């Protein structure tokens, strides 16, 4: 029988037996200049590179296999022709195949780049009226989901360069947005403390859920949403003081609280 191969590691499946552990020590540090602090970062799907966006508008690629040094085998970085925005870069994401990178800036502009060449292949200069806080590619790489300080969630077509869908309802900043349920749903989280579930095709609101707070003084803003791999109907919500596993109906399965010192 043919052996199954892990394409990311290049070894037979099961040969590398890893135990998932919580980080216990600092692995690496990337030092930036005094006036160019990082606003966002994203690993490539294979984990071999890290993309960072900075307040000076630069988008840079770092080699995770070489101590997180600037990846100089990318000719555009070697020649210092960096991917660049006119304002601070607030969000960055890779496509599923790692071939494309999208980035969003403080003025509401989104750019799509080819990873290997550093060329901008699509620009949405007025994607949002305010800073772009979150970005996600669709599974096929043909659409981009974005959220913004303007309270909007939008879906953009890569080929058309147009807004395909608009999800209205948040009453404050949108901090995160993801596709779920084979991209039939869009979930978004905002500083209004709500997670909103949308029909991806019609852009209509399906449900609004609000994670319960232990204390009235706790910060309610939704900072992150992630799909739960073990159950397609569950998702994980991150807030300042807690992480909550929830169902699409709003039921809390489990919560983990962070006690402030």
The backbone torsions φ and ψ at residue 76, rounded to the nearest 5 degrees and listed phi first, read -65, -30
Q: In which region does residue 174 sit, left (phi positive, over 0), alpha (psi from -120 to 50) or beta (all else)? A: beta
Q: What is the pLDDT of residue 181?
A: 82
State in Å, rounded, how far the first CA of the chain is from the last one. 57
Pairing of strands 38-43, 49-54: antiparallel
Q: What is the pLDDT of residue 10?
A: 52
Alpha-carbon separation of residue 63 from 49, 60, 74, 94, 153 (angstroms):
5, 10, 10, 15, 32
Which stretch of DSSP H or E encloses residue 78? helix 75-78
pLDDT tens digits along 113-154? 999 999 999 999 999 999 999 999 999 999 999 999 999 999
Average of per-residue pLDDT across 35-47: 94
36 pLDDT tier (thresholds 50, 70, 90): confident
Whole-angstrom distance, CA of residue 156 vs CA of residue 127:
8
Cα R_g (the chain), whole angstroms: 19
pTM over 0.85? The answer is yes
pLDDT tens digits along 159-179? 999 999 999 999 999 999 999
Whole-angstrom distance, CA of residue 93 vs CA of residue 233:
24
pLDDT tens digits along 190-222? 999 999 999 999 999 999 999 988 777 667 899
Q: What is the pLDDT of residue 15?
A: 47
pLDDT tens digits along 53-87? 999 999 999 999 999 999 999 999 999 999 999 99
Strand residues in 55-184 grouped as ranges (E)? 58-63, 69-70, 83-84, 89-94, 100-105, 110-114, 120-124, 132-137, 143-148, 153-157, 163-167, 174-180
User: For residues 201 and 184, is the Cβ–Cβ distance under 8 A?
Assistant: yes
Residue with tokens 């988008």: 59
- From the list 41, 36, 68, 71, the residue with the least C-alpha distance to 54 is 36
Whole-angstrom distance, CA of residue 156 vs CA of residue 172:
21
- CA 95, chain centre distance (Å): 10
Which stretch of DSSP H or E encloses residue 51? strand 49-54
Whole-angstrom distance, CA of residue 122 vs CA of residue 230:
35
Average of per-residue pLDDT across 174-187: 95
Q: Is the pLDDT of residue 254 over 90?
A: yes
């Amino acid at each position: 029988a043919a052996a199954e191969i892990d394409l990311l590691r290049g070894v037979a499946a099961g040969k590398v037996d890893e135990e998932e552990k919580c980080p216990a020590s600092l692995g690496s540090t990337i030092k930036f200049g005094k006036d160019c602090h990082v606003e966002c970062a994203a690993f490539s799907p294979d984990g071999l590179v890290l993309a960072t966006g900075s307040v000076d508008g630069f988008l840079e690629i770092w080699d995770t296999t070489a101590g997180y040094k600037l990846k100089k085998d990318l000719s555009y970085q070697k020649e210092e022709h960096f991917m660049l925005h006119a304002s601070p870069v607030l969000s960055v994401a890779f496509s599923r195949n790692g071939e494309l990178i999208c980035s969003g800036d403080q003025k509401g502009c989104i750019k799509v780049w080819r990873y290997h060449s550093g060329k901008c292949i699509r620009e949405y200069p007025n994607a949002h009226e305010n800073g772009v806080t979150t970005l996600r590619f669709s599974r096929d790489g043909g659409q981009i989901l974005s959220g913004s300080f303007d309270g909007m969630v939008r879906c953009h077509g890569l080929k058309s360069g147009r807004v395909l869908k608009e999800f209205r309802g948040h009453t404050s900043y949108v901090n995160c947005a993801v596709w779920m349920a084979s991209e039939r749903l869009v979930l978004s989280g905002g500083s209004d403390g709500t997670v909103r579930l949308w029909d991806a095709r019609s852009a209509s609101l399906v449900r609004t859920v609000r994670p319960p707070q232990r204390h009235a003084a706790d910060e309610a803003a939704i900072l992150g949403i992630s799909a739960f791999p073990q159950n397609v109907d569950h998702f994980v919500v991150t807030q300042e003081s807690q992480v909550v596993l929830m169902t699409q109906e709003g039921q809390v399965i489990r919560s983990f609280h962070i006690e402030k010192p």
